[in-house]
Structure 1
Amino acid sequence: MTALWTAHQAVAATQGVTQGDWVATGVSIDTRTLQPGDLFVALKDVRDGHDFVAMALEKGAAAALVSHRPDGVASDAPLLVVPDVLKGLEALGIAARARSTARIAAITGSVGKTSTKEMLRTVLSRQGKCHAAEASYNNHWGVPLTLARMPADADFAVIEIGMSNPGEIAPLSRMARPHVAMVTTVAAAHLASFESLAGIAAEKATIVDGLEPGGIAVLNGDVATTAILQDRAGDIGAQIVLFGETAGAWRISDLRISRDVTVIGATSPGHDYLFKLSVPGRHFGLNAVGVLAVVAALGADPVAASLDLALWVPPAGRGTREIIQLDLANEFETIDLMDDAFNANPTSLAASLEVIAAGQPQDGVGRIVKGRKIAILGDMLELGTDEVAMHAAMAQNPHLQQLDLIHCAGPLMRHLWEALPQGKRGQWAATAAELAAQATRLVDTGDVVLVKGSKGSKVSLVVDAIRKLGHRRGDE
């Protein structure tokens, strides 16, 4: 494999001390996924990474980035010793960015960061060598880790940047030094750490602070706080490109949702587009148009990208659709399951409800004659002081009102459950685990089912319980 870091390069980047002439082909922070040849970074989190250095070396790590030699590690072990391991990782990331000639996009937003990052990875990988994190590595260690892993010969890189508190985005943007910065949307997420939606917008807007000279800000022109985003971009002299359904140079002209696909018509300066995504969802379609704007801003081909967007599918827990076959001998005994259990706030929940409302249940195949549209919802977390009202207000969502039954889990979702008409009120349980134990009573053959909630609500347990009722189509 190609060398990512030589001992000499790593020492020059971190100003650390090492011995030996090792060569690393990757960077790892987890011995469970470490590959032979990786540089193991002994970060402190729930556990101290120094406790795993010996194991990492035994598994074939080329070296370990540490602040001291751990007990049980030989004195001649290939260690790169720095005063602070996180700062050492940041130094590697900064050095990787400095040596790179890649065109770099940075993405933030209250909803859709990871999905949009993966869309960009999919289409840019068809036009060159594209680097992006394999997971949602978007925080104070995830961004430098993503940069430190960036091959020197990458043509493109996509860096996801998140936040949970004020002041987190700008330093990461300055580290990434993107040529294009994108804000997918601004919504009520992490309100527990911010006084208002305007405060969230102001923080998201700081992704432009790290833009390279002549950089481009691709911003959602539909959100109520778009002026805050545009003002920040204008203050630093960035070129502003808007996308949206109602505003912007890149604009949706038509969008149609079916069970399996979203077909999008879009206009841009000098070109019209007609393309599809292999997944239903208005929110996915909007972000896809933003992706085309980013592709163009990076100097790549948006026409080719529009065709390649059909190759992208969302990762598990972020709106993936699957067919659960309850009886292998009967192809009609199925449940149509939408797994969106990774994250939730009012904006993303509304988007998912629109998708499931367009679903097509099957009649006459289950113990309940009429197939149903069902939502199983876990708490939306980190919404701040108005969290109770936000949950209850979802009962007025027009797409939720098109559903047949809503099951809820968690103390916050109880407020939505109580606001529902009696006829739509399914089961409520204090925890997702309790609801999962009732899986056979929650759904039936022929149903179309959405499961959604914040990750901390553990509503993914319900997804697993429904899957265990049968077999995922294709698994057999």
Structure 2
Amino acid sequence: MFALTAKEIATAVHAQNIEDAWEMIEINTVGFDSRKIKAHSLFVPLISENDGHDFITQAIDNGALATFWSNPLQDAPTSIPVIQVEDTLKALQDLAEYYLNKIHPKVIGITGSNGKTTTKDMVEAIVSSQYRVHKTQGNFNNHIGLPITILEMPQDTEVIILEMGMSHAGEIKLLSDLAKPDIAIITMIGESHIEHLGSRARIADAKMEIVSGLKENGLLIIPGNEPLLVERASSLKKEQLKTFGPSPTNDSYSIQITSEMRETTFTTNLNPAVLIKLPVTGTYNVANALAALSSGLALDIPIEKAAQKLATFQLTENRTEWLAGINNSALLNDAYNANPTAMKAVLNNFSQLRNEGRKIVVLGDMLELGEQTNELHLSIKKVLSVDEIDQVILYGTHMKILYEALKSDFDKERLHHFDGDKKAMIAFLKELIQPKDYVLVKSSFGTDLLSVIKALRVTTD
């Protein structure tokens, strides 16, 4: 999406060799997968499980006009410019930073244990009402994906929205230092990655790394009901911090909330006369919307205009989406990500939905919880009401402990566990599901319950 010459690229990444003749070679896209390289591309041979340098011939055949190179030059191709660098990944990041500075859009960075993608989609809807916007696609939110997102940015972009993911301490700092956000949003602190970080406090430390690159007059937006974040943000200037949440102590707070199967409505202190409608279920999505509204206000977007855009915003696939299910049922697909805080929020909302059939929950293992795995899986028991949920189907090794704990509440006809046999679980569900049933599927991505969704949904293809 950019137009840079090979010489400009080499200069931007402080290459060890720069040729004047490269000024005539124009590059307009970048890629690291040789199979997906397009014409006029810069190939970035990354080194991980495989060495990307080994695939240079395929990249050239597919249209690469230049390549980064960190192996010996005698092993390099001679048919295209070879930009010699010490580290091809660092060169990719340096090039992204150069291009970001050249286009100079406003930067909104979003992180959090849950709700990053939903908030990103909401922010895009609001900001696009007044600006030309580019955002992270899919899960391109790490040290490779974020630079690629920047380099795919159209040259007329006015605001770029960058999702920032992490597994370990230090990763958000790298992304923030690269992107230098004007506005930074932390959606929440949950238990995701507690296996690597050890505690919610250390997760908060890691998420707060987003302020590392925050511009001097930048704005941090955080949930005001999270003491771990409020405490860590206390060193910021008053004008650099906005809070959101359910209570009037926040800068932005909700007043009235109603959640139905396909819609959530609420009003706010920002303008109580404006009814805000979200085309998604879940009272927990109100917090995401408040964060998005706060970013819009920071960019001078009126609440009335923001509300209009939120009413029709498009949610990224696999995030609490309703799908047509077998036997005239309705599937609530939330099988892309899970942590205890998020799972409890979804279950609380699902339990309160009104329907004519039964409510069935299919819950898979939550991953990366470390030493607290058993305790945190057990905590889900608090939100599984025998009066609200008709059938509980649990999947995976970690969910076995929850299964044992629920035996005292649910009789054996309503409680089921499958260790690892998805085919058996799918066959069971196909027999179980009846017309008008609501079926929630929630798990960590690594359990692959998306394959269960695929087996239970009805498509029009």
| TM-score by shorter chain over 0.5 | yes
202, 208, 222: which is aligned to 2:205? 202
2:393 matched to 1:404? Answer: no
3-state DSSP class of the match of 1:162? coil
Give 1:23 shift: 1.8
Q: Distance in 1 between matches of 2:288 and 2:193?
A: 21
Give 1:32 shift: 4.7
Give 1:97 shift: 2.2
Give 1:463 shift: 1.0
Structure 2 match to 1:329? none
User: Given that residues 217 and 240 in structure 1 are in contact (C-alpha distance below 8 angstroms), is that contact kept between their aligned partners in structure 2?
Assistant: yes
Structure 2 match to 1:136? 139
Q: Which runs of 5+ in 2 are unaligned?
A: none
Structure 2 match to 1:346? 340
Residues 227 and 74 of structure 1: CA distance in aligned 2, closer, same or farther (over 3 Å): closer
Give 1:442 shift: 4.3
Give 1:33 shift: 4.2
Residues 94 and 459 of structure 1: CA distance in aligned 2, closer, same or farther (over 3 Å): same
User: Given that residues 278 and 312 in structure 1 are in contact (C-alpha distance below 8 angstroms), is that contact kept between their aligned partners in structure 2?
Assistant: yes
Q: What is the TM-score when the length of structure 1 is the normalising length?
A: 0.88
Structure 2 match to 1:153? 156
User: Given that residues 2 and 152 in structure 2 are in contact (C-alpha distance below 8 angstroms), is that contact kept between their aligned partners in structure 1?
Assistant: no
Runs ≥4 residues deviating over 6 A: 69-73
Kindly report which structure 2 residues correspond to 1:226-237, keeping only aligned pairs within 5 A, or say none.
226-234=229-237
Give 1:276 shift: 0.9
Q: Distance in 2 between matches of 1:34 and 1:108?
A: 29
User: Given that residues 11 and 18 in structure 2 are in contact (C-alpha distance below 8 angstroms), is that contact kept between their aligned partners in structure 1?
Assistant: no
User: Given that residues 6 and 81 in structure 2 are in contact (C-alpha distance below 8 angstroms), is that contact kept between their aligned partners in structure 1?
Assistant: no
Structure 1 match to 2:262? 260
* Comparing 376-385 and 124-133, the one that deviates more: 124-133
Structure 1 match to 2:350? 356
Q: Distance in 1 between matches of 2:371 and 2:363?
A: 20
Give 1:231 shift: 2.4
Structure 2 match to 1:245? 246
3-state DSSP class of the match of 2:98? helix
Structure 2 match to 1:367? none
Residues 422 and 291 of structure 1: CA distance in aligned 2, closer, same or farther (over 3 Å): same
Q: Distance in 2 between matches of 1:24 and 1:183?
A: 35
Structure 2 match to 1:428? 417
Give 1:173 shift: 0.8
User: Given that residues 262 and 279 in structure 1 are in contact (C-alpha distance below 8 angstroms), is that contact kept between their aligned partners in structure 2?
Assistant: yes
2:199 matched to 1:168? Answer: no
Give 1:271 shift: 6.8
Kindly report which structure 2 residues correspond to 1:73-472, keeping only aligned pairs within 5 A, or say none.
74-234=77-237, 239-246=240-247, 247-268=249-270, 273-324=274-325, 326=326, 333-362=327-356, 371-397=357-383, 402-420=388-406, 421-423=409-411, 425-431=414-420, 433-434=422-423, 435-467=425-457, 471-472=458-459
Give 1:254 shift: 1.3
3-state DSSP class of the match of 1:273? coil
* Comparing 341-350 and 58-67, the one that deviates more: 58-67
User: Given that residues 35 and 59 in structure 2 are in contact (C-alpha distance below 8 angstroms), is that contact kept between their aligned partners in structure 1?
Assistant: no
User: Given that residues 2 and 151 in structure 2 are in contact (C-alpha distance below 8 angstroms), is that contact kept between their aligned partners in structure 1?
Assistant: no
Residues 239 and 403 of structure 1: CA distance in aligned 2, closer, same or farther (over 3 Å): same
Question: How many residue pairs are counted as aligned between the two chains?
Answer: 452
Residue type at the aligned position of 1:464: K
Structure 2 match to 1:29? 32
Residues 398 and 186 of structure 1: CA distance in aligned 2, closer, same or farther (over 3 Å): same
3-state DSSP class of the match of 2:269? strand
User: Given that residues 131 and 158 in structure 2 are in contact (C-alpha distance below 8 angstroms), is that contact kept between their aligned partners in structure 1?
Assistant: yes
Q: What is the TM-score when the length of structure 2 is the normalising length?
A: 0.91
Residues 361 and 263 of structure 1: CA distance in aligned 2, closer, same or farther (over 3 Å): same
3-state DSSP class of the match of 2:434? coil
1:143-181 Cα distance to aligned partner (Å, 9 max, x none) = 222223333431001111122111221222111111111
* Comparing 22-31 and 80-89, the one that deviates more: 22-31
User: Given that residues 31 and 43 in structure 2 are in contact (C-alpha distance below 8 angstroms), is that contact kept between their aligned partners in structure 1?
Assistant: yes
Please report the RMSD computed on the Cα atoms of aligned residues, expressed in angstroms: 2.4
Q: Distance in 2 between matches of 1:313 and 1:149?
A: 21
